[in-house]
Amino acid sequence: MLRSVLALLAVLALPAHAPAAERLSGEAIERAFRGNTVSGRYTNGGFFTEYHDPDGRALGHNGWQANTDACWITKPDRICYYYGPPTDRTVHCFSVETSGDLYVLRNSGNGMVNALAKVEIGNPRNHTDNGTPWYCDGLISRAPEPSMSRKLARR
């Protein structure tokens, strides 16, 4: 946890002559994440690692539990993750900035830093669906924007 806090402080305290963090478009996020593993730490210290399968599934561990139904999709300026069946689905959307090989994920709703991550090429951690495949239904493309995620989470 200390290491992630120190990394966050280092990013926030970059000197003026250091390259600024670059905010990515949804298209750039998709190019970086699609077919690769995004691993990192939440600002609260929890560790996550998810392989972004090209079919839309997020395989791995979201920091609280192994993914059994997680999906990802990019929007014009963010990435959104969907966990759970449509009746109990939670939605988490993030803008993404890069600074070197560090990715900063900010909550779309309040702009607060949620996590720091790195992209690992391919699926080096061998994340799978553990023999229980799921599919990312068409509803995710029509899912509500982040302001609706709290309503979905309360269902």
Q: What's the confidence (pLDDT) of residue 3?
A: 53
To the nearest whole number, what is the mean pLDDT of the chain?
82
Is residue 141 in some structural domain?
yes
Q: Give CA–CA dist 148/145, Å, rounded.
A: 6
Q: Output 100 or 85, whichever has higher pLDDT.
A: 100
The number of folded domains in the chain is: 1
CATH number of the domain bearing residue 68: 2.40.128
The residue assigned the tokens 């495949």 is 133
Question: How many Cα atoms are found within 13 Å in the side-chain-facing hemisphere of 130?
Answer: 8
| pTM of the entire predicted model | 0.77
- The b-or-e profile of 108-128 (16+ CB within 10 A means b, else e) is beeeebbbbbebeeebeeebe
User: What is the span of the domain harbouring residue 42?
Assistant: 2-9+19-149
Q: Average pLDDT of 46-73?
A: 94
Q: Which residues pair with 73 in a beta bridge?
A: 80
Is residue 74 in some structural domain?
yes
- Residue-wise pLDDT for 124-153, tens only, equals 999 999 999 988 876 554 444 444 443 333
Is residue 14 in some structural domain?
no
Is residue 90 in some structural domain?
yes
Q: Give CA–CA dist 36/122, Å, rounded.
A: 4
Is residue 154 in some structural domain?
no
Q: Output 18 or 29, whichever has higher pLDDT.
A: 29
